[in-house]
Amino acid sequence: MQGQTTREIAQHFKVERSVTAKDQLPLFKMTSLDGLEISKQPRFIRVPEHRQDYIEICYVYQGRSQQGLNGQTYQLHQGDLVILDRNVVHSTSPHGRDDIVINIIFPSHFLKRSRLLSLEDETLVSFLEECLGDDSQHDQFLVYSGIKGDRIRHVIGLMLLDYFEPQQSSLSILQASLEILLTLLSREKSLTMTRPNRTNQSPKLILAYMVSHLAQVTLTETANHFHYSPNYLSALLKQTYGKTFKQLLLEERLKESKRLLDETSLPIAHIMDLVGMSNAYHFYQKFEQEFGVKLRDYPRLFLN
């Protein structure tokens, strides 16, 4: 299954693929709005970042699963479960031979608002209300880890039987089973996450991290440090500062090189090593463009 396109992956999940005008991410769309669809996530391939127009439940039936949710990575193990609203940026790392992850997808109207009132957990009720809301951003998700007992596993097992071996009233049974599943989840403790606020401190912390690791910092390493995907971290910096990771990194390296030129007598080659600039021609060229003076003509107070 190596090298599959997002369109082929979408077909595996029984959905269609298009592209969102918002950020050019693939958009997975349900082909039928009448009920729900159940499928097993594919093994050995990565499902790239995408959005969807349906609510999704991912349940780790066996093994483990690494899920990317709004740019952050979550390690799920057997019995763990995540519920996604329809605008969450979602990706999945390749699963191994022994990993079984069940996908349950359904349109928002499949939920009955009147039934939500009977749920005991306010967090789950609030999340589902957001799923049903017309004015919501629909970018929230719930992660359930360390679920106790086998009741949820049994309910999902029954849903699999009625979906893949349908009989009379199977759709009604599936809907009732979904309500039982949500009721059982209302007994569990969940972790609520939303898409990070673009006005919070995260971009400043990311930039500070870059500055303190100029010599060896990379986009992938920085993204891993903050538990973001590289694409999301890059978009976050671009949204906040109007510059790409690469542009910001070059800017900070040039600033630090100028400070070292002003305050030390270190050789230029040593300064280049300290700030992570390996190409002398590139360094001299960018320094002149940034500060309007050739590096060989730059006055150094501390140079003998």
CATH number for position 233: 1.10.10.60
What pLDDT, on the 0 to 100 scale, is given for residue 281? 94
Residue 206 has pLDDT above 80, yes or no: yes
Task: List, in sequence order, the alpha helices (H) in 100-229.
Answer: 113-116, 122-132, 151-164, 170-185, 202-212, 219-225
The residue among 176, 193, 210 that closes a domain is 193
Is 131 in a helix, a strand, or coil? helix
Residue 197 has pLDDT above 80, yes or no: no
- How much is the average pLDDT of 276-287? 94
Residue 114 has pLDDT above 70, yes or no: no
**Lowest mean pLDDT, pick from 55-59, 182-186, 190-194:** 190-194
Residue 285 — very low, low, confident or very high, per pLDDT cuts 50/70/90?
A: very high
Please write the tens of the pLDDT for every residue from 130-148: 888 776 678 889 999 989 8
Residue 200 has pLDDT above 50, yes or no: no
Residue 1 has pLDDT above 80, yes or no: no
| Residues 151, 223 share a domain | no
pTM listed for this prediction: 0.64
On average, the pLDDT of the chain sits at 86
Range of the domain at 222: 202-297
Residue 278 has pLDDT above 50, yes or no: yes
Indicate the DSSP class of residue 200: S
Q: How far apart are alpha carbons 220 and 277 in whole angstroms?
A: 18
| Residues 20, 130 share a domain | yes
- How much is the average pLDDT of 22-39? 80
Residue with tokens 């990565």: 46
For the chain, the domain total comes to: 2
